[in-house]
Amino acid sequence: MSANTIKKAKALAKDGVVKIEDDLYQIKSSSDPTKSYFVTSETCECEGFKNFYKFHHGKGLKANCSHLEAVRIFKEMHKKPEPKKGK
């Protein structure tokens, strides 16, 4: 993944990701603010993700895009702290 994608993903994770429910997120499109994508930890609705499978079909590769990466970063940022003993 390019450094640019990671940069974009980090920006999205900061203020473009909305958690809908467990493993379902809504991410604003960076190119069109009226659009947004539904993203899980494995899939994304964006063109880049779909095209990946078109081009690499059957090669056993996992698609990635800035949105999937943003969700991954978002989860890292919002990880629940370790439960403390003896409350």
User: By C-beta, is 8 or 80 nearer to Zn ion?
Assistant: 8
Of 9, 17, 44, 71, the one binding Zn ion by CB under 5 A: 44
Q: Which stretch binds Zn ion (CB under 5 A): 2-10, 11-19, 41-49, 77-85?
A: 41-49
Q: Residue 81 and residue 61: Cα distance in Å, rounded?
A: 33
Answer yes or no whether residue 67 interacts with Zn ion by CB under 5 A. yes
- The alpha carbon dihedral of 67, 38, 43, 48 has a sign of negative
The phi and psi torsions of 81 (rounded to 5 degrees) equal -65, 150
Residues of this chain that bind Zn ion (CB under 5 A): 44, 46, 49, 65, 67
